[in-house]
Amino acid sequence: MKAKNVQMGIKPLRQGLQEFAETFKTVQRGEKVKSQPEGIYFTNFEAFRKAMTPQRFALLKIIREKQPGSISELAEMAGRDIKNVSEDVKVLVGLGLVELAITGRNKAPRVRFEKITLEIAV
């Protein structure tokens, strides 16, 4: 991940499906697809809250500022149980917010961005 800024947003499922359908039709016609801004989108605010807990935001901050050499070192820095931290890191990796740099037997978590921008339409 090379971005300095990660875009997050709430996008209703209907809107996401409409955008997908429009893109699919464009491809079927053989036309060039307009590039869309990259981002991580959730179908509703509750899904966002479940994925992005205060503890996970805290882990992102620790990873960015202290660059721990392993998941266990991250857990120690956070003052949390390694099992819970490991689960949170898996979620963050799945969202594309954390990368794991493998060095020997250790997996060093890394983030490549400086801020997260959240966009919510009202």
CATH number at residue 9: 1.10.10.10
Give, to the nearest 10 degrees, the angle between helix 82-94 and helix 54-66: 90
Going by their DSSP bridges, the two strands 106-110 and 99-103 should be labelled as: antiparallel
What range defines the domain where residue 94 resides? 5-120
Q: What percent of the chain has pLDDT over 70?
A: 94
67/70 Cα distance (integer angstroms): 9
Give the confidence band of 12 by pLDDT, cuts at 50, 70, 90: confident
Our count of domains for the chain comes to 1
pTM over 0.85: no
Question: Per-residue pLDDT tens for 84-101?
Answer: 999 999 999 999 999 999
